[in-house]
């Protein structure tokens, strides 16, 4: 059980390393990682070879990614952002009202 708690804590720390202005991505990713780790541990313990640690790790990753995607969607909805296309780079991006623009993957657009 301590391995599971350590994995959840490590996953949450990695997810919280990147910061956004609203915190939706971090909050949802950390919550998703925690719930995913818990569900993965239960499923991993009861299915297959009974490896709760591996199930928790897989669940934390899947839950963290799902939570981060949901947080990103919440940011776009709350800021009423529209997706724009950059013909030069062949990529989509979003701009906040303050003028900060980000590529669709979350990296800053210069």
Whole-structure pTM value = 0.52
Please, which pLDDT band fits residue 42 given cuts at 50, 70 and 90? confident
Mean pLDDT of 13-40: 73
Report domain extents, the chain.
2-78, 81-110
Please, what is the angle between helix 52-78 and helix 2-15, to 10°? 30
Half-sphere exposure of 95 (CA within 13 A, CB side): 7
**In sequence order, what DSSP letters do the residues of 72-87 get, joined into one string?**
HHHHHHHTT---EEET
């Amino acid at each position: 059980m301590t391995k599971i708690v350590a994995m959840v804590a490590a996953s949450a720390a990695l997810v919280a390393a990147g910061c956004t202005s609203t915190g939706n991505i971090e909050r949802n990713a950390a919550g998703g990682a925690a719930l995913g780790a818990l569900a993965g541990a239960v499923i991993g313990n009861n299915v297959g070879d009974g490896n709760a640690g591996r199930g928790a790790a897989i669940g934390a990753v899947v839950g963290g990614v799902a939570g981060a995607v949901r947080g990103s969607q919440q940011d776009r909805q709350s800021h009423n952002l529209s997706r724009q296309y950059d013909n030069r780079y062949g990529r989509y991006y979003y701009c906040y009202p303050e003028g900060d623009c980000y590529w669709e993957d979350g990296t800053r657009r210069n």
